[in-house]
Amino acid sequence: TGLVTLDPGFVNTAACTSDITYIDGDAGILRYRGYPIEELAAKSNFIEVSYLLIYGELPTQQQYEDFAERIRRHTLLHEDLKQFFDGFPRDAHPMPVLSSAVSALSTFYQDSLNPFDANQVELSTVRLLAKLPTIAAYAYKKSVGQPFLYPDNSLGLVENFLRMTFGFPAEPYEVDPTLTRALDLLFILHADHEQNCSTSTVRMVGSSEANLFASISAGINALFGPLHGGANSAVLEMLEGINRNGGDVDSFVNRVKNKEPGVKLMGFGHRVYKNYDPRAAIIKKTADEVLGKLSANDPLLDIALKLEEKALADDYFVERKLYPNVDFYTGLIYKAMGFPTKFFTVLFALGRLPGWIAHWREMLEDPARKISRPRQVYTGQAERSYTPIAQR
């Protein structure tokens, strides 16, 4: 005892055991509960993947329908919760709006405070999955000064979200199956990624036995940062910057290689993947399809493709094993769908939600669970005596 290991950023330290997600970063493998991400992306849907992550097995038809129905029944927000959106500046970033509204769920559902009450944990799980899309859509509506739409529970989760975001009360909303399927697929690809920064945050907050809403709200705030979920917005800003500069990919790559302060190739690199991120490979194909179908001939896609080609052939990136990650192409798809840049990270949060919930539940059910409390290596002053202020 008394001996601690210093590991900034937890590069080599496992904080828990987990049965949820397997990553082999060298081989570029990602599996949820044993199922390869490629297979889930091709054959499953987001509700089913959420069930799989949270309960450990793919649902039977009956289990699937019950789960989807329970979620459908909780999509409404408490009328008083809608007041919250008026309290924020209209141009507020939607991520803190999202985390604040999720934090506020603890005040509306006060029975949720005991994390060991299994019925309440079930209810909080379903409430979060159902209400986060509504909260996200209202954050958007508020930002553009349009009226909120009540959920239409004849629609599926993703369609409902798209309608509440882009629809108008007086007009029927035409569901675009390409858009719905693409967004559902992106949610699947984001649904879990083991002990990333936000998931570790959810676990850490939950380890103090804080309830699910408080823990997820903390996770949303961790996701906000540009090195994590904020990267999808940052990629688009980077591509726009290059475009304004006449599409000069070479000079941008040189600035990255010269390590100009604040200049990184956003959407590249990963703590665990030292190979092509398997999610990025699927997304790249989707970007082509969606942009083609939405006939969005975006010059930024060409810049992204050129950037990737250039980086993958450059020693700087090769030596450091830097490959495109999940965030490299998503922004282009979200943009083509009509989402504003600062909303992209909200979409990441909607996708990551079932993963966060699954980890919080796994952690609380773990008999080896302990409150998260890292140690430190103290590097400050040795003991010294207090000097009165007049003598300093």
Residues 4-43 that bind ligand CMC (CB under 6 A): 9
Q: Give least dist CB 199 to ligand CMC, A.
A: 10
Residue among 271, 330, 278, 365 at smallest CA distance from 20: 365
Q: Give least dist CB 186 to ligand CMC, A.
A: 13
The correct pick among 325, 333, 347, 353 for binding ligand CMC (CB under 6 A) is: 325
User: Among residues 123 and 272, whose Cβ is nearest to ligand CMC?
Assistant: 272
- Does 196 interact with ligand CMC (rule: CB under 6 A)? yes
Residue among 287, 248, 247 at smallest CA distance from 267: 287
Beta strands in the chain, from DSSP E residues, in sequence order? 21-24, 29-32, 35-36
d(CA 377, CA 111) in angstroms, rounded, equals 40
Neighbours of 346 (CB within 10 A): 30
Contacting range for ligand CMC; rule: CB under 6 A; set: 73-81, 92-100, 156-164, 317-325: 317-325
Q: Give least dist CB 256 to ligand CMC, A.
A: 5
- Which of 190, 270, 277, 359 is catalytic? The answer is 270
User: Among residues 45 and 325, whose Cβ is nearest to ligand CMC?
Assistant: 325
d(CA 150, CA 128) in angstroms, rounded, equals 17
**Judged by CB under 6 A, how many residues of this single chain contact ligand CMC?**
20
Residues 327-356 that bind ligand CMC (CB under 6 A): 327
The correct pick among 169, 320, 338, 365 for binding ligand CMC (CB under 6 A) is: 320
190 an active-site residue?
Answer: no
CA R_g for the chain: 22
The correct pick among 121, 132, 249, 256 for binding ligand CMC (CB under 6 A) is: 256
Q: Cβ-count burial of 310 within 10 angstroms (0-12 exposed, 13-18 middle, 19+ buried)?
A: middle
What's the Cα-to-Cα distance from 116 to each of 12, 369, 374, rounded to whole Å?
31, 13, 24
Binding mask of the shown chain, residues 362 to 391, with x at each position contacting ligand CMC by CB under 6 A: ------------------------------
User: Among residues 4 and 227, whose Cβ is nearest to ligand CMC?
Assistant: 227
For 168, the token pair is 């108008």
User: Among residues 155 and 220, whose Cβ is nearest to ligand CMC?
Assistant: 220
- Alpha carbons within 13 angstroms on the beta-carbon side of residue 97 total 30
Residue among 190, 225, 194, 222 at smallest CA distance from 327: 190
- Which of 184, 192, 277, 327 is catalytic? The answer is 327
Q: Give least dist CB 151 to ligand CMC, A.
A: 28
State the sign of the Cα–Cα–Cα–Cα dihedral 111, 113, 114, 116.
Answer: positive
Q: Give least dist CB 274 to ligand CMC, A.
A: 10
d(CA 29, CA 9) in angstroms, rounded, equals 22
User: Among residues 85 and 268, whose Cβ is nearest to ligand CMC?
Assistant: 268
CB-nearest residue to ligand CMC: 269
What's the Cα-to-Cα distance from 336 to each of 150, 165, 178, 289, 294, rounded to whole Å?
25, 15, 12, 11, 7
Q: Give least dist CB 193 to ligand CMC, A.
A: 7
User: Among residues 73 and 321, whose Cβ is nearest to ligand CMC?
Assistant: 321
Q: Give least dist CB 22 to ligand CMC, A.
A: 17
Q: Is 371 helix (H, G, I), strand (E, B) or coil?
A: coil
Residue 168 gets which letter from DSSP?
-
What's the length of the chain? 392
Phi-psi region of 28 (alpha: psi -120 to 50; beta: other; left: phi over 0): left
d(CA 134, CA 131) in angstroms, rounded, equals 5
Residues 216-235 that bind ligand CMC (CB under 6 A): 227-229, 231
Residues 115-134 that bind ligand CMC (CB under 6 A): none
298 an active-site residue?
Answer: no
User: Among residues 8 and 147, whose Cβ is nearest to ligand CMC?
Assistant: 8
User: Among residues 236 and 322, whose Cβ is nearest to ligand CMC?
Assistant: 322
Phi-psi region of 140 (alpha: psi -120 to 50; beta: other; left: phi over 0): alpha
For 345, the token pair is 């990270």
Binding mask of the shown chain, residues 258 to 297, with x at each position contacting ligand CMC by CB under 6 A: ------xxxxxxxx--------------------------
Terminus-to-terminus CA distance in the chain, angstroms? 39
Q: Give least dist CB 93 to ligand CMC, A.
A: 16
Residues near ligand CMC (CB under 6 A)? 9, 196, 227-229, 231, 256, 264-271, 320, 322, 325-327
Q: What are the catalytic residues? A: 270, 327
